[in-house]
Structure 1
Amino acid sequence: MRLTVFWQRMVDHFGPAYADSFARDHVMTQLGGRTVHEALDAGWDAKDVWRVVCDTMGVPPERR
């Protein structure tokens, strides 16, 4: 998954104002205690990060 697709899905789900805030501030154990930004900066694949966000935040299957 390209980063542009990842960020568009984040905006689609969380809204333009909250997507980046969530990505900066929400620490997830499934990301090794990292935020979305930290996981991506550490080399995690965007698709894997999106799966963790979906699992953690209960994103409906049709939006995954």
Structure 2
Amino acid sequence: MYTSQVVHLVFRFLGGFIGSSFLTVAGGSVSDLFENRQVGNAMLAFVLTAFVGPVFGPLYAGLV
């Protein structure tokens, strides 16, 4: 393997390793911020942004 491929693999691993903590902690943080009857809507908004962002991001960037 070339050096650039090894470096790419190492930093892909580090990015995934560091970025995964946000996904595991965010659900608990959202549930701590809202009351029990409001957690469903807050989690819906949080999870929806993860799925809607990649869909509408290129469309918005194309308009800009």
Same fold? TM cut 0.5: no
Q: TM-score normalized by structure 1?
A: 0.35
Which one has more relative contact order, counting CA pairs under 8 Å at least 6 apart? 1
Larger Cα-atom Rg: 2
Query: Could you state the TM-score of these two structures normalised by the residue count of structure 2?
Result: 0.35
